[in-house]
A and B are shown apart, each in its own frame.
Chain A
């Protein structure tokens, strides 16, 4: 089984597919890895072409997703190893990186990776203050002060300790 995340040649081997990122770089991926993505599987079933162009996913994100797919397609690795790979995979990653990953896994429909990444994002959100979340997630607060006060009054129990509390 050949899996590589280097730029591949245009002529793909029979059991491989070439995936092109929105930056134009191409990745040679084994078919067994590609079909772990429900979207790629559908595409491969529908067309003969072994070149798939993903106009929404950049190089860096695509390389990570392919590394994940290739690892999970490797029958030589035990489930335990794959689980620890998953943990390693998301640990220490910047929130922005996780965001592009979760978008890519949603597009490519890689359910288990989507789960792992979303869970990691939730873990990061825990024990953060509202302003931290707004800043990191780049959320514009579009409430009027009156509206915000009303929400705080209605669901006061949700802010009765320091979690997701204002500074």
Chain B
């Protein structure tokens, strides 16, 4: 008992004495230890955490201990202000307990930058030995191809990299190279930059890759990157470019980089694909160990179904779950479903969701009836139709 009481924190006694759950003590939040207050502040944008300094003297410097920075140039109105966004960041960094330069901060773990234009050049010394998470949102990378690699080279333990859009107008290639990153999320939802620019990924430890690309970027991945991949979530939505040849180029570039495309996705076990179903064939052939396959919005993407020449290995030995979303009951879709049911030898469950506004009850029933008669390569396979 003694020990228990000793080990519990004495400062709590003041606020939590007696039977009352809410003692009418003064300054109740100030009863919270600094560490907790700093933890709470760490969830606020930096601008708001700085604003708390007005609360009381104790709060004057609390925000400066927060281990992450979160700036957004959008929320900084520059009207009637003589101070630029860059000046603000410099001021914040100056006030913090960190070193003057944010990019040589030894303790920073999580950094988010939005619309942040300065500093990102290869002349800057980058040394962020503890940075685990980096989120770059609409960042201008500058003219030199080496800026992003240079930045990443200063983050030796980086585990997660998120890139949301790229602002540059005249750039040809972005190189994402890091031996340590495990999770990579790329969102290209804004057509801010030249759609012909390409992204090269060299990340041999990558385990999770999410790509959301509306603008047909050329995504090139080194074979080593794909070997370590376990989960991928790929959305290639392109409403703008109608010419199909163009999107094919993308798929083949994306998958066939490296000299052994057929063994590219050795570790991939789960794939979510929101893209032209022509990619599906390639993925099935490249991911021998695929267990879970999710196809989203097939009514948009399935234009032609072409059977692989040989039954892909993942169908013979690994693929156990298939989910198909947005089925419209076209002949192409039935052909694909028939092929998958016939050839997936260890399939346990196939779920099919019809497009919500797509077909009426009767058509749905007919589709179900038709599919349920398809030959199943796996006796144990159950079919669910929603």
A residues sitting closer than 8 Å to B (CB atoms) are 22-23, 39, 42-43, 46-47, 49, 51-61, 96, 99-100, 102-103, 106-107, 114-115, 118-119, 121-123, 125-126, 130, 133-134, 136-143, 148, 151-152, 155-161, 163-164
Contacts and interface: CB of A to CB of B under 8 A. Distances in A.
B286 to A, nearest CB: 29
Most buried by B among A61, A102, A148, A156: A102
A155 B3 contact: no
B8 A158 contact: no
A55 B56 contact: no
B13 A118 contact: no
Contact of A46 (B3, B18, B20, B30): B3
Given A60-B21, A103-B32, 11 more contacts: A42-B7, A54-B8, A137-B29, A138-B27, A139-B27, A139-B59, A141-B55, A148-B54, A151-B54, A156-B81, A164-B51
B379 interface: no
Given A56-B9, A139-B27, A160 B60 contact: no
Interface residues of B, number: 54
Contacts of B81: 156-157, 160
28 contacts: A22-B17, A43-B3, A47-B3, A53-B4, A55-B4, A55-B5, A55-B8, A56-B12, A56-B13, A100-B22, A103-B36, A106-B36, A114-B39, A118-B43, A122-B40, A122-B42, A125-B52, A138-B25, A139-B27, A139-B30, A139-B56, A142-B57, A151-B54, A151-B60, A156-B81, A157-B81, A158-B51, A164-B51
Given A100-B21, A139-B59, A157 B54 contact: no
Contacts of A56: 8-9, 12-13, 16
B133 to A, nearest CB: 14
Given A152-B54, A158-B51, A123 B43 contact: yes
B163 interface: no
Contact of B19 (A23, A114, A125, A161): A23
B1 A53 contact: yes
A125 to B, nearest CB: 7
Nearest to A94: B22
Q: Find the residue from A51, A121, A134 having the highest chain B CB count within 10 A.
A: A121
Contacts of B51: 130, 158-159, 163-164
A135 to B, nearest CB: 11
Nearest to A22: B16
Nearest to B80: A160
B83 interface: yes
B19 A58 contact: yes
B57 A125 contact: no
The interface centre, meaning the residue of B4, B5, B28, B30 with most chain A CB atoms within 10 A of its CB, is: B4
Contacts of A158: 47-48, 50-51, 53
Contacts of A143: 54, 56-57
Contacts of A23: 19
Given A58-B21, A96-B28, A141-B55, A125 B44 contact: yes
A134 B59 CA distance: 11
A1 to B, nearest CB: 24
Given A61-B21, A106-B36, A122-B41, A100 B16 contact: yes
A125 B21 contact: no
Contacts of A39: 7-8
Contact of A103 (B12, B58, B76): B12
Contacts of A102: 32, 36, 40
Contacts of A61: 21
B50 to A, nearest CB: 4
B260 interface: no
Contact of B56 (A46, A142, A159, A164): A142
Contacts of A100: 16, 21-22
Contacts of B192: none
B369 interface: no
Given A54-B4, A96-B22, A138-B28, A103 B43 contact: no
B144 interface: no
Nearest to A130: B54
Contact of A53 (B5, B12, B13, B75): B5
Contacts of B54: 130, 143, 148, 151-152, 159, 164
